[in-house]
């Protein structure tokens, strides 16, 4: 038992030694941490806020046996392969290993840890290194500007000096200064200003028509960030403009004179004092001088009283004053206002009359008139024109003197008419007035009347009547003629329209209708009727009855009958001119006529009342009403065509009775508005 316990103790010692050896092997990299040295530098070393920082690493290998391979640097979980497959030899070093990394605001003023890892003889080894980026003040650029003068007249030049200072520990690049009110282009750009340096720049500005305010804006880049600076006090460049607006409004003339309203306004940028206004005769409009600041205005009233001795006065005003620089300021507009004395209608009195000096005659064709103008006006009248309504201006005067003014004027007239004379002129106010007017009657002269009585009328008296018709009557006659022509044209059109609406006949229809409505010819000769029976007449009657039976498509008698024998030739009343033909043997029975053939015969019978043109009389045997066609087995056929004999006694014409006849008629169609027959 003691031996077993001893062996257990030995075994436990061996296991403990193995565990210690294993721990030494596992923690070998930590044991050799002093075999490398890592130095870190930063640019910049301080930041006012988050921004990029360039870190430079120097790694030294203290191991004299093995090189450092696969060197990497880890920052915020990101691994950077800085050696690119290179190695640090034993007892060697690597310098200028740079990384530009972004440092957050929370990392400023605190240690920033980097983990450097490498392989040594196949074993991974790592070591930490730290550096701190300090919190710096905000680097702000300083800009100032000055001007050699702040008041200038339009067109004058002002020199503005811009001064830029960098009082920080950081270099500033890409500096650009813009002053939009001074220049459309940047004052300067792409400038660099080192830490704790100052620079200045002069810019020449030409004053325009209004004041401006300098408000520069500066942009620059520091620590990789672009910043803007605009916290500057405004610098105003005032334009020196001494300017007054001067407006004059003239009133209408009144008995007391013409009133003027003068408006004065300061539209400049400087105050003007000691302002006085005078007229063209150096008379003061305002008794007390006054001043106007920029934007102020005032109104002055001035009354001009014209004199009758001067019909026209040209009024002109002038303004004088002093600007803030002690220089005289004058304003003298070119506007001239004409002022006339006040003229009332009662001050103008002019009359005109015209007298006949030589009357109008047909031989001369003119009349000589004397026109007398009387002027009783108390004012002067100028630019006088004497006008005849038809002829126009017949006389001109520059001025119309007081009293009477007369002149003779010959006026050529085609025929006597009244002369209308008008006198016009200008009064002292410049108004063109109608001063007076009159009418001078002109009649036929004595010689013209005598000639009219002696001269006989022309041979063509009818023409003189038409020559005396007035133009109004002529126009009426012309209008009546036009209306007559127009009415005739309308009549022709209506006639053509009526004919176009008439029924349209065919050639065949014309023949049928005329034949149907044609009256039977009148009997010119009457043959005395013989009471004795005539064999020829009996034969003719038989033939007529045969035709009737055929037309009616039926039988006349229900039972057969026999006719009496014909009379002997001696018993006849008169000789027969033509022999009576014997009745031929009855031919074989022909087929029954069709209904359409019977209808066609009826139509032909209705349209033709006589079978031949040479017939002079007609015979219509009385019979029963026409019955519809009914086939009959005993119907007799027509044996011969009927013949017509001349000079035979015919029965007296009897009035036709209305019978029911089945007839086929042709309808004649007309236009819509006509009836159908």
> Residue 352: how many CB atoms within 10 A of its CB?
19
Looking at the DSSP assignment, which residues form a beta bridge with residue 511? none
Token code pair at residue 599: 């209808």
What does the block give as tokens for 283? Answer: 């008379």
For residue 556, give Cα distances in angstroms to 624, 625, 632: 9, 11, 11
Percent pLDDT > 70 in the chain is 64
Q: How far is 79 from 117, CA to CA, in rounded Å?
A: 10
Show Cβ contacts of residue 109 under 8 Å, excluding neighbours closer than 6 positions.
132, 133, 134, 135
For residue 583, give the 3-state DSSP assignment: coil
Please give the pLDDT value at position 549.
Answer: 53
* pLDDT for 25 beyond 70: no
CB contact at 8 A, 31 and 88: no
Task: Please give the Cα distance from 149 to 138 (Å, whole number).
Answer: 35
Q: Considering the chain, what is the average pLDDT of its residues?
A: 75
Please determine, for residue 277, whether its predicted confidence score (pLDDT) is greater than 90: yes
Gap between the Cα atoms of 83 and 120, Å rounded? 15
At 23, the pLDDT band (50, 70, 90 cuts) reads: low
- pLDDT band at residue 385 using 50, 70 and 90 as cut-offs: very high
Whole-angstrom distance, CA of residue 124 vs CA of residue 70? 9
SS (H, E, C) 395-459: EEEEECCCEEEEEEEEEECCCCCCEEEEEEEECCCCCEEEEEEEEECCCECHHHHHHHHHCCCCC
Rounded Cα distance, 502 and 512, in Å: 19
Helix (H) or strand (E) holding 359: none
CA distances from 175 to 53, 166, 215, 375, 484 (A): 21, 11, 16, 92, 104
Model confidence pLDDT, tens digit, residues 603-613? 455 445 444 44
Distances 656 to 395, 620, 621, 625 between C-alpha atoms, Å: 109, 10, 11, 12
Nearest Cα neighbor of 261 from 375, 205, 337 is 337
d(C-alpha 84, C-alpha 531), whole Å: 170
Q: Does domain 32-135 have CATH number 2.60.40.1230?
A: yes
Average pLDDT over residues 41-48: 85
Query: In this predicted structure, what is the pLDDT of residue 237?
Result: 87
Helices 595-607 and 535-552 meet at what angle, rounded to 10?
Answer: 130
Q: So what's the pLDDT on residue 273?
A: 92
The domain ranges of the chain are: 1-29, 32-135, 142-239, 244-339, 345-448, 532-554+589-610+618-677
| Residue 24, pLDDT above cutoff 60 | no
Checking if the pLDDT of 267 tops 80, the result is: yes
CA-CA-CA-CA dihedral for 62, 65, 70, 71, to nearest 10: 0
What pLDDT does 642 receive? 43
Instruction: Give the pLDDT score at 248.
Output: 92
pLDDT of 439 strictly over 60: yes
Sign of the torsion formed by the C-alpha atoms of 150, 151, 154 and 156: negative
> Domain 142-239 classified CATH 2.60.40.10?
yes
For the entire predicted model, the pTM comes to 0.34
In the prediction, which pLDDT does 416 show?
85
- Whether residue 179 contacts residue 215, with contact meaning beta carbons closer than 8 Å, is answered with yes
Q: Is the pLDDT of residue 632 over 50?
A: no
pLDDT digits (tens, 9 = 90+) for 402-416: 899 999 988 888 788
Between 534 and 347, where is the model more confident?
347
Percent of the chain with pLDDT over 90: 21
Contacts of residue 662, Cβ cutoff 8 Å, sequence gap at least 6: 602, 626, 628
Structural tokens at position 317: 């005003």
Name the residue among 369, 351, 364, 363 with its Cα closest to residue 442: 369
Which of 12-16, 426-430, 536-540, 547-551 holds the top average pLDDT? 426-430
Q: Tell me if 142-239 shares its fold with 244-339.
A: yes
Domain 345-448, CATH class in plain words: mainly beta
CATH 2.60.40.1470 fits 244-339, yes or no: yes
pLDDT per residue as tens digits for the range 575-589: 444 444 445 455 555
pLDDT on residue 5: 60
Q: How far is CA 354 from CA 187, 351, 435, 445, in A?
A: 90, 11, 15, 17
Query: How far is 389 from 423, CA to CA, in rounded Å?
Result: 11
Query: Which CA distances in Å does 592 have to 288, 586, 630, 642?
Result: 149, 16, 10, 20
Residue 675 has pLDDT above 60, yes or no: no
Band of pLDDT at residue 324, cut at 50, 70 and 90: confident
Q: Which residues contact 35 (CB under 8 A, 6 or more apart)?
A: 61, 62, 63, 120
Tell me the C-alpha distance between 530 and 527, whole Å. Answer: 9
Q: What is the pLDDT at residue 109?
A: 85
Residue 68 to residue 50: CA distance in whole angstroms = 34
Residue 448: what pLDDT? 40
Task: Work out the number of other CB atoms within 10 angstroms of the CB of residue 521.
Answer: 13
Higher pLDDT pick, 273 / 25: 273
> Can you give the pLDDT at residue 263?
94
Weakest-pLDDT range from 202-216, 331-345, 436-450: 436-450
* Residue 53 CB neighbour total at 10 angstroms: 23
Alpha-carbon distance of 321 to 325, in angstroms, equals 12
β-strand pairing of 235-239 with 151-152: parallel
CB 255 within 8 A of CB 208: no
**Helix (H/G/I), strand (E/B), else coil: 305:** coil
Among all chains, which residue has been given the structure tokens 């890409």? 174
| Range with top average pLDDT, 46-50, 559-563, 611-615, 622-626 | 46-50
β-bridge mates for residue 47, sequence order: 135
Residues 40/43/47/50 CA torsion (nearest 10 deg) = -80
Who has greater pLDDT, 124 or 498? 124
Is the pLDDT at 643 greater than 70? The verdict is: no
* SS3 state of residue 160: strand
**489: pLDDT strictly greater than 70:** yes
Q: Is the pLDDT of residue 376 over 60?
A: yes
């Amino acid at each position: 038992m003691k031996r077993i316990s001893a062996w257990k103790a030995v075994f436990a010692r061996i296991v403990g030694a193995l565990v210690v050896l294993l721990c030494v092997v596992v923690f070998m990299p930590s044991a050799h941490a002093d075999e490398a040295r890592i130095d870190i530098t930063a640019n910049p070393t301080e930041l006012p806020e988050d921004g990029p920082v360039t870190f430079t690493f120097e790694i030294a290998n203290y191991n004299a046996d093995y090189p450092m391979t696969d060197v990497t640097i880890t920052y915020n979980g990101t691994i950077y392969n800085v050696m690119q497959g290179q190695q640090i030899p034993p007892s060697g070093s690597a310098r200028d290993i740079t990384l530009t990394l972004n440092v957050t605001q929370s990392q400023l003023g605190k240690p920033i840890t980097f983990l450097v890892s490498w392989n040594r003889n196949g074993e991974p080894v790592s070591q930490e290194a730290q550096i701190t980026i300090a919190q710096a003040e905000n680097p702000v650029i300083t800009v100032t500007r000055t001007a050699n003068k702040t008041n200038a007249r339009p067109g004058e030049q002002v020199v503005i000096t811009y001064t830029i200072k960098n009082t920080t520990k950081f270099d500033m690049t890409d500096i650009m200064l813009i002053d939009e009110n001074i220049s459309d282009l940047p004052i300067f750009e792409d400038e660099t200003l080192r830490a704790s340096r100052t620079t200045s720049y002069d810019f020449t500005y030409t004053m325009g028509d209004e004041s401006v305010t300098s408000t520069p804006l500066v942009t620059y880049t520091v620590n990789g960030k672009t910043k803007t600076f605009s916290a500057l006090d405004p610098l105003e460049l005032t334009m020196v403009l001494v300017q007054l607006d001067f407006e004059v409004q003239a009133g209408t003339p009144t008995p007391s004179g013409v009133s003027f309203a003068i408006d004065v306004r300061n539209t400049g940028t400087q105050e003007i004092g000691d302002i006085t206004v005078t007229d063209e005769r150096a008379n003061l409009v305002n008794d007390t001088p006054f001043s106007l600041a920029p934007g102020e205005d005032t109104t002055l009233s001035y009354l001009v009283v014209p004199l009758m001795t001067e019909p026209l006065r040209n009024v002109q005003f002038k303004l004088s004053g002093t600007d803030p620089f002690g220089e005289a300021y004058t304003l003298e507009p070119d506007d001239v206002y004409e002022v006339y004395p006040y003229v009332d209608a009662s001050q103008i009195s002019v009359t005109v009359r015209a007298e006949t000096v030589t009357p109008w005659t047909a031989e001369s064709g003119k009349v000589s008139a004397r026109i007398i103008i009387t002027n009783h006006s108390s004012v002067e009248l100028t630019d006088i024109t004497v006008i005849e309504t038809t002829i126009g201006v017949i006389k001109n005067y520059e001025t119309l003197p007081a009293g009477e003014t007369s002149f003779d004027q010959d006026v050529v007239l085609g025929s006597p008419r009244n002369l209308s004379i008008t006198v016009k002129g200008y009064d002292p106010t410049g108004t063109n007035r109608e001063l007076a007017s009159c009418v001078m009657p002109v009649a036929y002269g004595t010689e013209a009347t005598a000639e009219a009585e002696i001269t006989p009328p022309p041979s063509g008296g009818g023409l003189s009547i038409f020559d005396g018709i007035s133009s109004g009557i002529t126009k009426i006659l012309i209008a009546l003629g036009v209306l007559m022509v127009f009415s005739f044209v309308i009549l022709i059109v209506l006639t053509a329209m009526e004919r176009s609406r008439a029924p349209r006949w065919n050639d065949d229809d014309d023949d049928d209708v005329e034949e149907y409505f044609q009256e039977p010819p009148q009997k010119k000769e009457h043959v005395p009727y013989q009471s004795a029976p005539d064999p020829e007449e009996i034969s003719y009657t038989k033939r007529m009855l045969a035709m009737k039976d055929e037309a009616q498509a039926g039988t006349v008698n229900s039972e057969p009958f026999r006719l009496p024998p014909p009379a002997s030739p001696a018993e006849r009343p008169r000789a027969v001119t033509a022999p009576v033909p014997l009745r031929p043997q009855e031919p074989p029975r022909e087929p029954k006529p069709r209904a359409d053939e019977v209808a066609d015969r009826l139509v032909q019978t209705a349209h033709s009342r006589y079978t031949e043109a040479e017939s002079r009389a007609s015979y219509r045997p009385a019979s029963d009403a026409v019955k519809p066609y009914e086939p009959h087995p005993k119907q007799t056929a027509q044996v011969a065509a009927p013949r017509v004999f001349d000079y035979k006694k015919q029965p007296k014409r009897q009035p036709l009775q209305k019978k029911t006849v089945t007839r086929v008629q042709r309808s004649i169609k007309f236009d819509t508005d006509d009836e159908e027959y």
